[in-house]
Amino acid sequence: NAGVTQTPKFQVLKTGQSMTLQCAQDMNHEYMSWYRQDPGMGLRLIHYSVGAGITDQGEVPNGYNVSRSTTEDFPLRLLSAAPSQTSVYFCASGKGLGDTQYFGPGTRLTVL
């Protein structure tokens, strides 16, 4: 099992550009989520999904879109990048409520 994979590992964008961060898992987990990690702020939930076709907002959803067309994939789209979105982004998956969340290796994003 590859677990949770994320691409790209690093990305530099200019303000106003859009891009998609990819996340995939091969553990057949229903629950997937996106977090951003900033110094002193810990991990903050952006969006999550409890199954294919079902998504919901987390703590900091503004400026991000998600969709879940398959169990395996959960891409995160930045609509119009802003410097405030400079962060490390982690995707995670798990079986469900209260269950262990497995994290990907992260994507380091810089917005100039």
Partner 1 sequence: QKEVEQDPGPLSVPEGAIVSLNCTYSNSAFQYFMWYRQYSRKGPELLMYTYSSGNKEDGRFTAQVDKSSKYISLFIRDSQPSDSATYLCAMTGVSSGSARQLTFGSGTQLTVLP
**For binding to partner 1 (CB under 8 A), which residues are involved?**
4, 31, 33, 35, 40-45, 48, 50, 58-59, 90, 96-98, 100-106
Cα 63-69-71 angle, rounded to 5 deg: 110
Find the shortest distance in angstroms from Cβ 69 to partner 1: 20
How many other CB atoms sit within 10 Å of the CB of residue 112? Answer: 10
Residue whose CB is less far from partner 1, 33 or 85? 33
Instruction: Give me the least distance between CB of 111 and partner 1, in Å please.
Output: 19
- Least separation in angstroms between residue 56's CB and partner 1 is 9
Q: How far apart are CA 79 and CA 93, in angstroms?
A: 23
Q: Which residue has the tokens 């939930």?
A: 45
Would you say 14 or 100 has its CB closer to partner 1? 100
14 vs 97 by CB, closer to partner 1: 97
For residue 110, give both structure tokens. 């810089």
- Closer residue to partner 1, CB minimum distance, 27 or 43: 43
β-sheet with 76-78: strand ranges across: 4-7, 19-25, 76-78, 64-66
- For the CB of residue 8, give the shortest distance to partner 1 in the complex, in Å: 15
Backbone angles phi, psi at 85, to 5 degrees: -90, 0
